[in-house]
Amino acid sequence: RELNIDVVSIFPDYMAPLTLSLVGKAIESGIIGVGVHDLRDWTHDRHRTVDDTPYGGGAGMVMKPEPWGEALDEIASARTTLVIPTPSGIPFTQSIAHELGSAEHLVFACGRYEGIDARVAAEASTRMTVRELSIGDFVLNGGEVAALVMIEAIVRLLPGVIGNPESLEEESYAAGTDGLLEYPVYTKPPSWRGHEVPEVLFSGHHAKIAQWRRERSLEVTRERRPDLLK
Ligand code: ADE
């Protein structure tokens, strides 16, 4: 097995999509191993309590440290990279997806409510690599969907997961495209509802096609993501 991934959540059913599609096939073919765990399995009270009110006051609830500590004691080791999805994390990027794919063991700690008691990350940092990561400037209800996003981005980069490695090199954000957005793509029919495929793509003139695609990439990047050009 290349890469082992464990996910800890109070809603393990959220991770059901991992059995589907590309990630599901990577599991079946043994390229990755995935374990999904219910955080409440590491509680000891009758109500299986995972949250409590915040010190210092304020709205919402905070996840208690003890169940997380015990879960990590059991699941993680010094060779683990612990990923904590949080909107206050460092931005998750394609380059971080590559880095995480070369880890030997990833544990995703999915918090709910207002987050996990900060001592969980602090204590884990004394014994393993910890990365607090955000998938974007918006707030989800918990880390589960963010973990699904990161796992898909990581797993599709692993050798043997995507059939054609060229399709990896050409896509948006991939190294080798100068960090530009992808040019528009077309397939048959040549005319559809009054919209035509650009003539140059029928020309068979590879240098001209490459130049046209480059221009469209620059245009779409300037329009949608000018920050990428600076
Ligand atoms: N949890 C809640 N919102 C999130 C976000 N934007 N990124 C990562 N984890 C989150």
In tens, the pLDDT along 33-57 reads: 999 999 999 999 999 999 999 999 9
Query: Distance from the CA of 85 to the center of ligand 1, in angstroms?
Result: 6
139 close to ligand 1 (CB < 6 Angstrom): yes
Percent of the chain past pLDDT 90, that is, above it, reads 91
Query: Distance from the CA of 189 to the center of ligand 1, in angstroms?
Result: 41
Dihedral sign from CA coordinates of 203, 206, 207, 213: positive
Query: Distance from the CA of 88 to the center of ligand 1, in angstroms?
Result: 8
138 close to ligand 1 (CB < 6 Angstrom): yes
Strand-pairing partners, residue 112, are none
Best mutation site among 139, 144, 149, 151 for ligand 1, i.e. most ligand atoms within 8 A of its Cβ? Answer: 139
Q: How confident is the model at residue 176 (pLDDT cuts 50, 70, 90)?
A: very low
Pick 168 or 27 by higher pLDDT.
27
Alpha-carbon distance of 13 to 230, in angstroms, equals 42
DSSP tag of 204: -
**C-beta separation of 143 from 108 below 8 A:** yes
Alpha-carbon distance of 197 to 40, in angstroms, equals 55
Ligand 1 atom 5: residue of nearest CA = 87
Give yes or no for residue 128 having a pLDDT over 90: yes
137 close to ligand 1 (CB < 6 Angstrom): no
SS3 assignment, position 195: strand
**C-beta separation of 7 from 36 below 8 A:** yes
Residues present in the chain in total: 230
* 16, two tokens: 């059901």
CA dihedral 214, 216, 219, 224 (to 10 degrees): -110
- Of residues 12, 10, 107, 15, the one with CA closest to residue 49: 10
134 close to ligand 1 (CB < 6 Angstrom): yes
pTM score, two decimals?
A: 0.95
SS3 assignment, position 115: coil
Give yes or no for residue 172 having a pLDDT over 80: no
- 62 φ/ψ angles, rounded to the nearest 5 degrees: -120, 145
User: Helix H segments across the chain?
Assistant: 21-28, 65-75, 94-101, 119-125, 144-155, 165-170, 206-224
Give yes or no for residue 1 having a pLDDT over 70: no
Alpha-carbon distance of 10 to 37, in angstroms, equals 8
Q: Tell me: the pLDDT tens digits for 192-228? A: 999 999 999 999 999 999 999 999 999 999 999 999 9
Summarize the confidence of residues 77-105 as an average pLDDT. 98
DSSP tag of 188: S
Percent of the chain past pLDDT 70, that is, above it, reads 93
Average pLDDT of the chain?
94
